[in-house]
Structure 1
Amino acid sequence: MSSLPRVRVAAAHAAPVLLDKTATTEKAVALIEEAARHGAQVIAFPETYIPAFPVWAALWAPIYNHDLFEAMVENSLVVPGPEVARIAAAARRHGVCVSIGISERSTVSAGCIWNSNLLIGEDGTLLNHHRKLVPTFYEKLVWSPGDGQGLRVADTRFGRIGGLICGENTNPLARFALMAQGEQIHVSSWPPMWPTRKPAGDGRNFDNVAANRIRASAHSFEAKAFGIVCASFMDKAMRDFLVGRDPSVAEIVDQTPRGVSMFIDPTGMPVGDTQQNEEGIAYADFDLNRCIEPKQFHDVVGYYNRFDVFSLGVERRRHTPVAWSGTEQADFPHILDEDAVLARQA
């Protein structure tokens, strides 16, 4: 009889403190503490929970959003940095694994940011650092493309944990790359809403709730893994900020479906709690032994594949703007001795 772990998991269906990285970090720490008190061992947060998801990029042309982009950059996190250290300390203090979405700030550019996700272990170590491969639709106005460095599954005491951000869960090759590493728990992170059109009542608007449920169920069914679906929540403060800036967007904001946080079992069926229209923490219990039996039917990274026909290569190098050559590095800044310089010139 197999003895894989039984794990209690949580999805923080929570709103950030809009564009305030310090306050949102403190809220995340409080949510980690609350979930841990309720027995959660793996705790997931939404897409770019810190400092917020830039819904405004869907509502207004970029020429009207310069101040919001500057605020987003200013409140994006450096990895490693003080905010990440606070979350890591909370994970270590409570002995839990934390998956959290952040907007990440570059250390070599004043304005480059990425849509990133961090997986932090129960000892406070950074297990994985993933940058979203391709910003989706209007996200391209905010974030730079990531790379494959974070396409990894972490082997933890609570199971083999992987994850993808929002639209990446529609990328079959990214998903297969995680399946092929023995993924048992898949974290998918999502925004609070995904407006694509003005409400028209003709059924042409994108139904993000149905789409996310299909994507999460498809991945769990194909991977034979459990799924944590964690969406952000739009609270009154965020709604009032957007509508207060431009009252004409009220109809879009109010009639676009809110994201759903839920859990999926290895057959693709929902389990545990579901959260949508209220802020809170959803919980579920995963028995990872249930990942085994479905592999008899279709194991797409085992017998139900043709490795002589299909192959996949993944480039994991982290992108950097410059590749330096040479073995000697100058140690700057120097304190120059004027007398010594003059003596050498004499």
Structure 2
Amino acid sequence: MATLPLIKVAACHAAPVFLDKTATTAKALDLMREAAANGADLVVFPESYIPAFPVWAALWAPILNHDLFERMVENSLYMDGPEIAAISAEAKRLGIFVSLGISERSKASVGCIWNTNLMIGDDGSLLNHHRKLVPTFYEKLIWAPGDGQGLRVNDTRIGKIGALICGENTNPLARYALMAQGEQLHISCWPALWPTRRPDSGSNFDNVAANRIRAGAHSFEAKAFGVLCAGYMDSSMRNFLVDRDPQVAEILDATPRAATMFVDPTGTQIGGLLQHEEGILYADMDLNKCIEPKQFHDVVGYYNRYDVFDFAVTRRRDEPAHWHDTPPTRNQLSDLGETRVAAQQPLEETYRLFNTRDIA
């Protein structure tokens, strides 16, 4: 007898309207409506879908990209901005869950942005706000490091859903942090392409294989379904880059395109694959199939040795300053304190860490 949800997931293998947050938001709303009309419970978007993935950081030296960085910042989203409000309102109207990749803008700095993934509930609420822990390779020229506050699995009516961004799926500790919260559906979001070398020097990166291996390994270890949602480079995006420098055409055309696909709790690919064309990929998932494989090895159950291994995660939002105009209350200290997966630190220790004097 089925006790866990049977769901339909939509993964949008889609291009943004390159570096245009308003137009890309409108496109995202259209894709959500199309997916919902086809019965989707969850709609997933690629990494940094709004406003785009900054692929130019792989193509030109930083001193040649200042204008593009400024444009990226200008088109990044504030968390309380109209774009996220529109996505949330539409998710509520449609009754669907949405995983959205954005470039997030800081209120504390005119030039600080993060690579962020949002999980939005079917009631329009923000369920999770995760900033990529470590920007990968040339992404460090664009995005600031994130924090552990968003390393959370959302327990929803359609299952326990977690998400990591691109290279985070190579980090076994980040992945284990989600497994340890009972994750049943894992979202991994990716850029449309990942240039690593010039074509005349050969390639050391098979995009499709690398992403499938990482997602398949996680699903096999977590005994969870996996959604690999990659971006798509359309002609407008390619033309924008090539018009700026015709020499990059060879690099762009020789770089393998990322693929969107699904895997089951054994790590096996299910359903189709989208790589060289834009569209929405769908899969039906019976989360009851997460149960049987746990008999073989449950790495957050009997198939571990907690007496040998000790794992703790700090889930705290990094802020440039903590303001105490009056002595902090216990609730304020609790909000600022370290939240651990295994255990909560005593309030007095949290209090000491923040170098305050009095507990009100």
- TM-score with structure 1 setting the length: 0.93
Question: Quick one: which amino acid aligns to residue 326 of structure 2?
Answer: T
User: Deviation per CA, 1:133-166, whole angstroms, max 9, x where unpaired?
Assistant: 0000000000000000000000111100000000
CA distance in 1, matches of 2:148, 2:319: 13
Matches within 5 A, 1:51-200: 51-200=51-200
Shift of 1:257: 0.6
C-alpha contact 1:13 1:233 (8 A) present in aligned 2 = yes
Which structure 2 segments of 5+ residues have no match?
A: 328-360
Question: Quick one: which amino acid aligns to residue 316 of structure 1?
Answer: R
C-alpha contact 1:19 1:71 (8 A) present in aligned 2 = yes
Q: Which residue of 1 aligns with 2:215?
A: 216
C-alpha contact 1:147 1:316 (8 A) present in aligned 2 = yes
Question: Quick one: which amino acid aligns to residue 32 of structure 2?
Answer: I
Q: Which residue of 1 aligns with 2:33?
A: 33
CA distance in 2, matches of 1:236, 1:27: 16
Q: Which residue of 1 aligns with 2:356?
A: none
Q: Which residue of 1 aligns with 2:245?
A: 246
Q: Which residue of 2 aligns with 1:331?
A: none
Shift of 1:302: 0.1
CA distance in 2, matches of 1:311, 1:8: 37
Secondary structure, aligned partner of 2:7: strand
* C-alpha RMSD of matched pairs (Å): 1.2
CA distance in 2, matches of 1:192, 1:54: 10
CA distance in 1, matches of 2:311, 2:29: 39
Q: Which residue of 2 aligns with 1:20?
A: 20
User: Deviation per CA, 1:55-102, whole angstroms, max 9, x where unpaired?
Assistant: 000000010000000000000000122100100011101100000000
Secondary structure, aligned partner of 2:217: helix
Secondary structure, aligned partner of 1:289: helix
Q: Which residue of 2 aligns with 1:262?
A: 261
Shift of 1:192: 0.4
Q: Which residue of 2 aligns with 1:48?
A: 48
Question: Quick one: which amino acid aligns to residue 288 of structure 2?
Answer: N
Matches within 5 A, 1:333-344: none
Identity of aligned residues (%): 71
Matched, 1:234 2:233: yes
Shift of 1:266: 0.1
C-alpha contact 1:162 1:187 (8 A) present in aligned 2 = yes
Shift of 1:322: 1.0
CA distance in 2, matches of 1:300, 1:39: 33
CA distance in 1, matches of 2:255, 2:294: 38
Shift of 1:201: 6.9
CA distance in 1, matches of 2:5, 2:272: 20
CA distance in 2, matches of 1:92, 1:254: 40
CA distance in 2, matches of 1:265, 1:108: 41
Matched, 1:277 2:265: no
CA distance in 1, matches of 2:8, 2:270: 12
Shift of 1:326: 2.6
Question: Quick one: which amino acid aligns to residue 18 of structure 1?
Answer: F
Shift of 1:323: 1.7
Count the aligned residue pairs.
328
CA distance in 2, matches of 1:214, 1:199: 24
Secondary structure, aligned partner of 1:200: helix
CA distance in 1, matches of 2:31, 2:279: 9
Higher Cα Rg: structure 1 or 2? 1
Shift of 1:200: 3.0
CA distance in 2, matches of 1:200, 1:263: 33
CA distance in 1, matches of 2:117, 2:200: 34
Q: Which residue of 1 aligns with 2:326?
A: 327
Secondary structure, aligned partner of 2:18: coil
Q: Which residue of 2 aligns with 1:335?
A: none
C-alpha contact 1:8 1:285 (8 A) present in aligned 2 = yes
C-alpha contact 1:243 1:249 (8 A) present in aligned 2 = yes
Secondary structure, aligned partner of 1:222: helix
Secondary structure, aligned partner of 1:217: helix
C-alpha contact 1:199 1:205 (8 A) present in aligned 2 = no
Question: Quick one: which amino acid aligns to residue 146 of structure 2?
Answer: G
CA distance in 2, matches of 1:312, 1:192: 34
Shift of 1:273: 2.3
Q: Which consecutive segments of 4 or more residues in structure 1 shift more than 3 A?
A: none
User: Deviation per CA, 1:270-313, whole angstroms, max 9, x where unpaired?
Assistant: 11221000000000000000000000000000000000001111
CA distance in 2, matches of 1:201, 1:225: 38
C-alpha contact 1:50 1:103 (8 A) present in aligned 2 = yes
